[in-house]
Amino acid sequence: MTNTFDVTASGGDLSNLNGTVALSALTTGGITDNAGNALASAVPTGTNDNSYSVINDAVAPTVVSIRRHQPTDAVTNANSLRWRITFDEPVENVDVDDFALTGTTASIAAVSNPSFNSWEILVLGGDLAGLDGDVTLAFAPGQDIADAAGNALAETTPTGVNQPSLTLDNTAPVLISILLLDPAAELTNQDYLRWQVSFTEGAGNLTPDDFLPTGTTAAVNSIIPIGVPLPAGAGLDTAFSVEASTWYVTIAGGDLASVEGQVGLGLSPSHDIADAAGNALSNTVPSGGNESYVLDNTAPVLTAVTRLDPAGSVTNQDYLRWHVSFNEPMDALTVDDFDPSGTTAGVTSIVPAAFALPETLGDGPVRPFAVSSTSYFVTIAGGDLASVNGEVGLAFAPGADFGDVAGNAPVSLVPTGANQGYTLDNAAPTVAVTTSATAPVSGPFVATIAFSEDVTGFEAADISATNGTVSSFAANDARTYTVTITPSGGSSVTVAVEADAATDAAGNGNAAADDLVITHDPDRTLTVLLPGVGSGTVSSSPAGIDCGTACSSDFTVGANVTLTASAATGSGFAGWTEGPCTGSTATTCAVLMTADTTVAARFTLDEPPAGRIVAATLPAARSGYLGGPVMTAFLAVVSQSASPAQSCTIAAPEGAPVTLGYQRVDASGAPQGPAEPVFDIQAGATQSFVLSMTPSVETGANGYEFLPVISCQNASLDPIVGVSSVLLNIDSAPVPDILAIGVTPSQDGVIRIANSGGAGAMAASAVNIGAGDGSAGPGEVTVTVTADTGSTALPLSLEMCRIDAAAQCISPRGSGVTAVMAQNDPLFIAVFARDTSGGTGIPFDPANARVFLRFADASGTIRSATSVAVTAPAAADAPVIASAMPEGRWSVLLRQAEGVWPSLTRAALHVSPDGRAIADDGVSPRLVQLDGVPVAADQPANGEIRRFTRGGTEGYWTVDGHVLSGGAWIDNAGEFYGIRDARSGHDALWADHAGTFGDGMRITPGGEIRGVVAGCSVYGQSTGAASALVSLTLSGCASSGRYAGVIDLPANDGDAPVLVIAGEHSGWRLAAQ
């Protein structure tokens, strides 16, 4: 039998307790059964629910959220609706009576508790299937929901999400319209098209596949909802979840740029467009507007531009009007679309010929305009139209932007048909009155009246003649007339044509002619010249000329005059050189006096004394090409002795790459007299010529130094390279041809450095008259300008810069200048020369002491050169001569053997203290001996001049660096003159030049010189400076003997040192390898 007891606990802290309350037996002995047996254990053998968890809950539950659950969207057309309500704790007593619905006849079908504190409410039935409007779920006024502690739900408003309503939409959207948007006009050639697509309500789920362009292969490339923001990342293929009642739909690509005809936009049969509730679009054809574009991609054609007013082509009208025609209507043609040619006039009127405009919109004083038309009347006026002469046309401006109504620009702005212009003639015809008669006239003569254009209305009465009469009027053509004028007295006759004597085709009257005034004289003057250097007279029959004294006389027109030449003793008559008998050597010359006449008779000396001539050329270099133009240069020839130079000619040396012609020029450089004359030069006088050099052979990389051969009966030219030479470069194709000229402040072609250690300057200008060198633009040359002292090393420091027209440096000073020369655009250069001689100075020797300026193109070819002489004084305390010999290196001009060309050549003279000297002409050096001349008793041992002899020929050298062997003109072979070279006494040792020279010579580091030259074994021992002569022995050959050697350094950087070996009869130059 089981006994059950209820134990109740109350009071104490139970009303505020939050925790566990347990019930247990305090002791086992206090509890016995009826028999008195004590309780064996306080732990039940069965269920032991001996504790309570006590929570004092006095807080009412709250609603956390009310959410749409199925569907979750706010707008729907679903037939069942579910909400999920979440409380902050578990609640009880929840059923359908706790909730109420508004906006629908549907009912709450079920309430369930799917999770711990969430409840789900299901709404079904009623009018949900056709409802349009909001359905709202709320708590019923009598709801009895409470938590487990019995606290009733008091506040039904959620603390969080509150979605009590759903919008029911069971009405399908309607496509209202598809309207043109961009462009707005129906007719277009635009390569994209945009429509505005409108629905009755917001529609979504739109993609390009929902649309179907018609009439084109173009595709939809843009769908834009209007009035709603786009979702992030939305693209072309996005099925927009946004809903908009208006969309912009754009198509492009495909054949849209070329298609012709109607292009529309429709909906694809498979479209899935729906509203936010999922209701599918109810129609695919708009209920309203459904607009399409008409595509026109064919360019219009300008068919003709024809003259309208005036109709004739020649006019002096101050306005011009054309008829401009197209093959289809045009749109927006304005004055800016035209650019009249040949005039500064502008378009003043554009009138569409195919439309009748109101009177006030015609050619009135309003800004011209045009409406769509295929034909226009275009008028120009103003500007220079009232004075212009020449062709005037109506052309379209380069920026013309007109087109047809669809916007297509014309395929060409040149008409396919007529394109007519006007010839504007606003110039009055000019008229010239001339005659071929030679003044003075002695009787009737023919005058020609020539108009500048065809005229009408001209007759003999329009010609006046003062001191004469008019007869025999004749018209050769519409602009040329002749008339005979017979002088009636007076010293002159004046023939005149007044203004407006005739008119041209445009109606312009002629301007008055300059009067023809011609002297009237029945006599003609005969003048005799005596150009030769000999003596003689010329007399005339009939009398009048007796020249020497009377060398001019008048004779009646038509008279026959015979001139007779008579030579004086010691002279001979060489011939007639000017006038009707030119070239004849007969002593008589018959002259018919039809005009003033000049005759020249040349007398020559039978035995002319020896003369001296020198010459100079300008420019110093020319370039040309085979088949190209003649190259020219100026040549000045001076007679420098007390005797004249007689019977001179100029020729090219044998082997020259040109054929030569020459002609005398006057002081202005203008040619005069016959070509290739035999000429004479009076003592101390100068004759100037232009040389014409026609290319015949290509030259090598270094060009050809052209030295003119000037031969006179009693003199010949000793040409000097760099003074009387022209460097020629001849190619097979056009090349740069640079002309250069140098000037100095003293204006005498000499840089005159004023004081020892001082500086001087020269300037040069150069211009390219030839082709470009291909390094820059057309006709341009990249030129490099350098300065040097030629074959002579002078003690000078040279710098240069490019200068402007004001002689200011526009580039940094340096050793050279590189610039791009445009064709015919001058380049200016300044060169600064500083004396670095240390006080010895630079002697005045224009042949040997020169500064050269050279102009090379991009290939390195010298295309021009110019040079000036240079001199600098020795210092006041310069050392006097202390040596017995002109020791060191000298740069000289050396007289070559008879018959060797050129007669003077540039050479080096290397002199040792013992008088041995190597004379090196650059080809065959020779060993010579100089012997000192004792100082006279009355001369100081150390002076400013010392003398020597060479094979019996006297010579001297000076303290300022001048040397001479022979007479002033060094007439005999081996004689020379020149200046001390800056390479004299250079510091380089023989050992510094150890290495190979030529093919078989070697200098060892120890100074031995050994090897083979011309089959001879060579040996010598060198010590000291390489500028000092060293003795060499040649053996085992026909040229065996004693020789001397020296190292010759280059005058300018870039060349190799040369071992010079010389004996009395043989010598060699061996370049360092």
pLDDT in tens, 990-1024: 999 999 999 999 999 999 999 999 999 999 999 88
Task: Give the pLDDT score at 876.
Answer: 84
| Tokens read off for 598 | 């000049």
Task: Give the pLDDT score at 164.
Answer: 96
The pLDDT > 90 percentage for the chain reads 79
Does residue 241 have a pLDDT over 70?
Answer: no
pTM higher than 0.75 for the full model? no
Single-letter amino acid code for the residue at 924: S
Task: Give the pLDDT score at 361.
Answer: 46
| Tokens read off for 765 | 């200008």
User: d(Cα 546, Cα 541) in Å, to the nearest integer?
Assistant: 10
User: d(Cα 1059, Cα 1028) in Å, to the nearest integer?
Assistant: 12
Q: What is the pLDDT of residues 884-912, one digit of tens each?
A: 899 999 999 999 999 898 999 999 999 99
Identify the band that residue 240 occupies on the pLDDT scale cut at 50, 70 and 90: low
Task: Give the pLDDT score at 2.
Answer: 66
Rounded to 5°, the CA angle 1039-1042-1046 comes to 105
Average pLDDT of 770-788?
Answer: 95
User: d(Cα 376, Cα 332) in Å, to the nearest integer?
Assistant: 12
938 or 281: which carries more pLDDT confidence? 281
Identify the band that residue 764 occupies on the pLDDT scale cut at 50, 70 and 90: very high
Q: What is the pLDDT of residues 16-55, one digit of tens each?
A: 665 677 776 555 556 777 787 777 777 788 778 776 665 6
The pLDDT > 70 percentage for the chain reads 94
Average pLDDT of 180-194?
Answer: 94
Identify the band that residue 941 occupies on the pLDDT scale cut at 50, 70 and 90: low
Task: Give the pLDDT score at 9.
Answer: 77
Does residue 809 have a pLDDT over 60?
Answer: yes
Q: What is the pLDDT of residues 70-91, one digit of tens each?
A: 999 999 999 999 999 999 999 9
Does residue 8 have a pLDDT over 90?
Answer: no
Task: Give the pLDDT score at 987.
Answer: 82
Q: What is the pLDDT of residues 242-257, one digit of tens each?
A: 789 999 999 999 999 9
Q: Which of 347-361, 388-402, 981-995, 1012-1026 has the lowest mean pLDDT?
A: 347-361
Best-predicted range by mean pLDDT among 609-613, 830-834, 949-953?
A: 830-834
Does residue 688 have a pLDDT over 60?
Answer: yes
Average pLDDT of 518-532?
Answer: 92
Task: Give the pLDDT score at 43.
Answer: 78
Does residue 15 have a pLDDT over 90?
Answer: no
Identify the band that residue 678 occupies on the pLDDT scale cut at 50, 70 and 90: very high
Does residue 1063 have a pLDDT over 80?
Answer: yes
Task: Give the pLDDT score at 123.
Answer: 96
Q: What is the pLDDT of residues 623-665, one digit of tens each?
A: 999 999 999 999 999 999 889 999 999 999 999 999 999 999 9
Does residue 538 have a pLDDT over 50?
Answer: yes
Burial category of 516 from C-beta neighbours within 10 Å (exposed 0-12, middle 13-18, buried 19 and up): buried
Average pLDDT of 1037-1047?
Answer: 96
User: d(Cα 605, Cα 211) in Å, to the nearest integer?
Assistant: 115
Q: What is the pLDDT of residues 375-387, one digit of tens each?
A: 999 999 999 999 9
Q: Is the Cβ–Cβ distance between 553 and 574 less than 8 Å?
A: no
Task: Give the pLDDT score at 479.
Answer: 96
Task: Give the pLDDT score at 222.
Answer: 93
Task: Give the pLDDT score at 45.
Answer: 81
Cα Rg of the chain, angstroms: 60
Q: Which residues of 624-657 are buried (b: 16+ CB within 10 A; e: fewer)?
A: bbeebeebebebebbbbbebbbbbbebebeeebb
Task: Compute φ and ψ for 460, nearest 5 degrees.
Answer: -60, -35
Q: What average pLDDT does the structure give for the chain? A: 91
Identify the band that residue 207 occupies on the pLDDT scale cut at 50, 70 and 90: very high
Following DSSP, what letter does each residue of 766-823 receive, concatenated?
A: EEE-S---SSSSTT-EEEEEEEE-TTS--SEEEEEEEE-TTS-B-S--BSEEEEEEPT
| Tokens read off for 943 | 């002076």
Identify the band that residue 985 occupies on the pLDDT scale cut at 50, 70 and 90: confident
257 closest CA partner among 290, 197, 297: 297
CB atoms closer than 10 angstroms to residue 204: 21
Task: Give the pLDDT score at 879.
Answer: 78
Task: Give the pLDDT score at 37.
Answer: 79
Q: Which of 155-159, 525-529, 712-716, 881-885 has the lowest mean pLDDT?
A: 881-885
Does residue 235 have a pLDDT over 90?
Answer: no
